[in-house]
Structure 1
Amino acid sequence: MRRSRPRRRTGSRWDPDTSDKWWLLVAVHLGAIPLLFALALVGRGVVLLVGQGSAGFVRTLLLLALYVMLFVAGPVGVFFDKKYVRSVSGWTPTRWYYLMFFVPFSWVMAADYLWRRHRHVGTP
């Protein structure tokens, strides 16, 4: 007996083709960058809070979570938000915005994307 694939729900709030909320991932990406630098600067405070033995582990987990936000959230948000922006405005975001995962360009690319999206779509 063959199983049929479940139907894809359309019109839901987080449907990639109709959702206008994917820019939030780009905003998370933009917000994670200062947090990453602040955590690097406050690393000594982590040692004082949790002790010498587990400080490295805690700091590594926090940095790993921020790196995931930094490298995954931005490009994934651009990928899905690009479909929505293209459908409601005349602007088609370029593929250059996928360079957000590359750290030297990430802050500039995320801020530029959100600014241009605001000019063409009106949100954020």
Structure 2
Amino acid sequence: MKKAEIKLTIELDDQNVPEKITWESTDAATKEALPVTAFTLALWDHHYKNTLKIDLWTKEMPVDEMKRFFYETLQTMGDSFLRATGEKNIVEDLRDYCAHFADKMEIKQG
């Protein structure tokens, strides 16, 4: 069986606020750690039937980029949900909400 590993490294300041985040994967084309300014990780716990989640961002993450990050995360969650369930109608509703979110947050869609 093939295995892959994803590694996240978070450098914290003296108040435990993330200053730098990097990620790397054994399956990535490049083997170097790549910098990011935010990530969301959600895992499903089958035993307890709930989500384990971590959201982190660096203190340098601009608010406009955070808004865009949330918008794109919602969009890609719709893609994943459609692939996982085939529930096209509710994904169309989510897309409508994403357009509303983008409008309210003044995010240029594209």
TM-score, normalization by structure 1: 0.29
TM-score (norm 2): 0.32
Larger fraction in strand? 2
Q: Which has the higher contact order (CA 8 A, sep 6+)?
A: 1
